[in-house]
Structures are given as C-alpha cells and as structure tokens.
Amino acid sequence: MAKNPDRRRSPRRGLLGKRITKEQINAIYLRDFKKSLGLLGEPLPDPVSELHLKKMVGLLLHYGIDPKCPDCWFQGFYALALEHEKGFQIAQKTGPKKRDGENFLRDVEEIRARKGLKSDKAAILALQAEGRYRGYLPTLEARLREAKAARKKREKKKREKEEQAAAASREAFVREAKLALESHSSRPEGATKLAS
C-alpha cells in the first residue's frame, strides 16, 4: 500500500496545503527539456524552485499581500515571522491570576479526583495537556500553594466567626438564664405556687 504524501493534515488548503510530487517535477523537466531542444549548453531551470515560487506567491495572497508590491517579499517574511517565531510574538500572561486561585485549586482537585492522580504536579500537567492552563510548571505550583494558603486562611476566619457567634449565643443564653433565675428568686415564696 503506497503512502499518500498529503495524508497528514495541513493547516492550509489548496495550493499551499499540497506537497510537491515527483510527477509535477518530472512534468516541468519534460516541458523545459522540450523547450530547450536545440539550445545546447543552456541549463534547465530547477522545477522545484518554480513550484516553490508558485507556492510563495500563493502564501503572499493568503496573507493578503499583493505579489506585485515592491516590498511584498519583506511583508510576507514579516507575516510568517509574526505567526511562527516566538521572538516576534507579544508575550501574554497565560497562568492563573492570583485572584483566580480558588478556581485553579478547584480544577486541580477535580482532575485529581477524576483521573485518580496522586500529586498536584501530575494534576497540573494533566490540566496543561488538556489546554486549560498554560505556563511554567514551577509558577503554576506556586499559584496552587498560594491558593491553598488563601483557602486555609478563609476557612480559619470562617471558623473563628462561627466560634464567636457560638460564644455570643452561649453568653446570651447564660444571661437569659441568670435573669430568669434572679426574677424567680426575687418573687415571694407563695407566688410560685398555684392556688388550688
């Protein structure tokens, strides 16, 4: 079974998405050989270069660049560099923001439970593999530690508030009980008995 050279998916369609085949090269050699019969000593043009030139013009058109423009090759080169070279791209913050720590922590816990992962590092790597978070692994681990510390601090404040509320409730109950006892003991002895 012969392998198809166009089998792998190309991000481009049409002329730019197809590979140059040997048949195309041979057709150009044959055409140019027939043209040059009788012109001995003249080198034949390179068919691959001709095909590449057609594809380069197609690439210029793909980027919306007029091939007749005097600086079209510079514009095309610049467009390709912007798209494919990291040094030409504007850096964007891709990791979780500090304020999004709780969501990040929830995502890590969720993927650990879903995939049965034992470590936070493995969970972060799984999230990166799914494309949900990008960034440098140690930075993401630091954001996770910060999120865990923030959650612990929130839970501690919540417990303290609950304890304060419970203490205030106990104090109110004790005050009410004391008032009730004092009012009961201040009554005359016969006032508490029901008349028969």
Residue boundaries of the structural domains of the chain:
14-88, 98-178
Residue burial 150-180, b: 16+ Cβ < 10 Å; e: rest? eeeeeeeeeeeeeeeeeeeeeeeeeeeeeee
Which amino acid would we find at residue 16? L
User: Ranked by mean pLDDT, which of 81-85, 144-148, 177-181 comes out on top?
Assistant: 144-148
What digits encode the pLDDT tens for the residues 84-124? 777 777 666 565 555 578 888 889 999 899 989 888 989 98
Asked if the model's pLDDT at residue 20 lies above 80, the reply is no
Q: In the predicted model, what is the mean pLDDT of residues 60-86? A: 84
3-state secondary structure of 37: coil
Q: What percent of the chain has pLDDT over 70?
A: 67
What digits encode the pLDDT tens for the residues 31-42? 665 555 544 445
Residues 22, 24, 28, 34: what is their CA dihedral angle, to the nearest 10 degrees?
A: 80
Closest to 129 in 3D by CA, of 137, 119, 138, 141: 137
| Confidence band, pLDDT 50/70/90 cuts, at residue 176 | confident
